[in-house]
Amino acid sequence: MLSTLAALLGLCLCQRISAQKQTLSKPIIWAKPGSVIPKGMAVIIWCEGTFGAVEYQLHFDGLLSTFERPTPPGITNKVKFAIRLMTRHSAGQYRCFYREGELWSEPSDPLDLVVTGMYDTPTLSVHPGSKVIPGENVTFHCHLETGTSTFFLLKEGRLSSPQRRNGKFQAEFPMGPVTTAHSGTYRCFGSYNDFMWSFPSKTVVLLVTGDVGDTNLVPTGQPSSDAWEPSLFTTEVVGFQEGRAIWDHRADTLLRVGLIFLVLVALVCLLAEDWLRGKTTEETANGASNQECREYTLPALNCNHQKYIWTFPSILWKTKSSPGREQQVQSLQWVHPWRNSRRPSTAGAERAPGGTLVKGFC
């Protein structure tokens, strides 16, 4: 019987471990209108899973940022996460997950979301010129007078990873030998951070043709002004749509720390107030006791009256405000040399504070 129970328990445990190891295929993540967004503009992050997904999670820099549940489930296989205002706090690396029942998918490929407009504007030039023939070597030069640590060169109009070069004031981006595929519009950026870039440079249009004088391959619709259109970094343009804003985990953490700090300050204030109230009460009580206690030192009195003799030794009172010294109070003593003696009358005796007899009359 015990062996049967152990076998069943082991089977259930193995099935649970096997179920935990099963994961769903990774989702697809992308940003619209693109992954390079000017500061202050909006961006939507899309995550595409399966029609059976009941929950999607968006992680920012390795931490859970927000989640979405399709309503109703089974109608769509993707959800959107909207950032209404792009700032440096929103720039970073994003991944998304989705869940079917108790199973979670693998993480998506990383999405690097970049904010621009954080530093000064660089200048971009191309050598030997903007019109070249196939096979020539071309070099782009990006320069920033205020200095930086990294430069990025992007080709507008298609999805592509930016070229990156290190440099303080200038960086070179060699391309060669070039082909007609290199024709296009380029901009460069300076940066101290992979996710926070400068304002974009002015555009430089590179034209690679079979004949320098041939203008049939001149790109149409090339920008005629310096206004940077962020949609040029993607192959598809969609309108900005409203959606739920992503929870900024950094701001949320700062808010929680601030609330904890305020609670601690309030507790300290309450404890300090209680301590001061207790101290004030104690000082008031000590003051009242000190007013009742005095120090009296009286000389010893010897009285001889007929055949009775009694002695009043010195009496000493110490106030309660004398720390470390014990109170000394001696009571009256009667000394009589004869056997048949009686205690003298205390009529007319004076009493010190507290009721102690301090003086008698003979």
Domain ranges of the chain: 22-115, 118-216, 248-292, 294-362
What pLDDT shows up at residue 75? 85
pLDDT at 233: 42
* Domain 118-216 falls under CATH 3.30.465.10: no
pLDDT of residue 159: 59
CATH 2.60.40.10 fits 22-115, yes or no: yes
Q: What is the mean pLDDT of each run of 10 residues along the chain (362 residues)?
A: 50 48 82 92 94 93 88 85 92 94 92 92 93 93 88 81 87 90 93 91 90 41 38 33 35 72 89 84 65 49 48 47 45 44 47 44 40
Evaluate if pTM is beyond 0.85.
no
pLDDT at 2: 46
Domain pair 22-115 / 118-216, same fold: yes
Question: In degrees rounded to 5, what are phi and psi of residue 270?
Answer: -65, -45
pLDDT at site 192:
87
